[in-house]
Amino acid sequence: MIVELGKGIPDMIEAFPEPSDFWEAFDEKSDPIEEAACSTDVDWVRQRIAILLMQYNVPDAPDYAG
């Protein structure tokens, strides 16, 4: 699921150039992934998502990887 999310980031950036629109679309895709993770995996999932966002230089990305 995370891999598919990552593959879709460039398309979301192109389709939603305004940050607020991007984040709305991104949250729609990423929230179910976080919600599906068991409590012991949530931090790992958030770190993976943060790394994907950093790879694409998405502005205002949450700092879960830190």
Residue-wise pLDDT tens digits, 19-47? 889 999 999 999 999 999 999 999 999 99
Please check whether residue 12 is in contact with residue 58, taking contact to mean a CB–CB distance below 8 angstroms: no
One-letter identity of residue 9? I
Per-residue confidence band for 59, with pLDDT thresholds at 50, 70 and 90: confident
- pLDDT score, position 63: 64
Within 13 A of 52's CA, how many CA atoms are on the CB side?
20
- pLDDT score, position 31: 94
Q: What is the pTM of this model?
A: 0.85
- pLDDT score, position 60: 76
Extract the tokens encoding 43: 């931090």
- pLDDT score, position 42: 93
Neighbour count for residue 50 (Cβ, 10 Å): 17
